[in-house]
A = this chain, B = another copy of it.
């Protein structure tokens, strides 16, 4: 039962399914679910809600509690806070961390926790480095993710495109998304690995509008320091400042604590 629920986050599994599968009475399944609920809560694994009645069942929503979130962001800061990561143009080398399942799983869970109560239909990101972040978040939310591109590839089929202005250098760019990959009217969470002024995110938001959808929020692993941020409402896990002249990096926690439960009883 634990395995089955963990594999299907945010999905209603009917009591009937469990009682058929394990050849047990619904009453003993209910008892087992209460034990699981308590265990998941005590260990900060997630919320197990049971819905009574004929159409009822159990829904598992993974989350990350404040303590674990703080420990994880501290380990993220520890990994990023390394002067050799400073790249020209205020960028930071993150690809090694964004290729490690351990970090990705926790990044996905922490970002998903920020939108615990929001219905979300899809996660959107920009190619290529946002993809692992999007996949990790989508896995926790159990929804599809879509990849917006700057270059047209013949293998995508018909696309919808928008022009957007990059945040800092004010260049005009074009981004596009395969028409087929996102249903019209979807509720979309935008994610990316790194945000400077936020031009790419603003571009994705306008693409969501072209698909007649709604932006639920925007979340990034790291935000850099800029003077003219073009978007206001976003979540970041860490804040990074780099100094190109002496190549020094400074990393602090981002603004992620908006929606984190302090302890297991609040959730």
- Whether A154 contacts B87 by the Cβ 8 Å rule is yes
A53 within 8 A of B: no
Confirm or deny: A155 has a beta carbon within 8 angstroms of a beta carbon on chain B. yes
Tell me whether B180 and A155 are in contact (CB under 8 A).
no
A181 at the interface (CB under 8 A from B): yes
List residues 3-23 of chain A with CB under 8 A from any CB of chain B.
3, 6-7
- Tell me if A145 is interfacial: C-beta within 8 Å of chain B: yes
With CB as the reference atom, state the residue of chain B lying closest to A129.
B155
Contact with B along A71-113 (1 / 0, CB 8 A): 0000000000000000111011101100111101100000000
Copies in the complex: 2
A165 interfacial contact with B, CB 8 Å: no
Q: Does A135 contact B (CB under 8 A)?
A: yes
B101 touches A138 (CB 8 A): yes
Q: A75 CB to closest chain B CB, in angstroms?
A: 16
Minimum CB–CB distance from A49 to chain B (whole Å) comes to 17
Task: List the B side residues contacting A176 at CB < 8 Å.
Answer: none
**From A91, A102, A155, residue with most partner B Cβ within 10 Å:** A155
Given A128-B149, A131-B132: A155 and B91 interface contact (C-beta under 8 Å): yes
Chain B: minimal CB distance from A172 (Å): 19
Q: Say yes or no for A146: interface residue by CB 8 A criterion.
A: yes
Residues of B within 8 A of A2 (CB): 2-3
Q: Given the interface contacts A99-B147, A105-B7, does A89 sit within 8 Å of B138 by beta carbon?
A: no
Residues of B within 8 A of A171 (CB): none
Knowing A3-B43, A3-B45, A131-B132, say if A99 contacts B156 (CB, 8 Å): no
Supposing A128-B149, A154-B89 touch, asked if A144 and B100 sit within 8 A by C-beta, the answer is yes
Q: Nearest Cβ in chain B — how far from A173, in angstroms?
A: 15
Q: Is the CB of A147 within 8 A of B135?
A: no
- Which A residues between 235 and 255 are near B, CB-CB below 8 angstroms? none
Asked whether A91 and B144 contact (CB < 8 A) given A6-B3, A135-B135, A138-B101, the answer is no
Do A139 and B181 have beta carbons less than 8 Å apart?
no
A107 to chain B, nearest CB (A): 12
Name the B residues within 8 Å of A93 (CB-CB): 155-157, 178, 180
Q: List 9 A-B contacts (CB under 8 A).
A: A2-B2, A93-B178, A95-B180, A99-B147, A99-B181, A101-B143, A104-B135, A104-B139, A128-B149
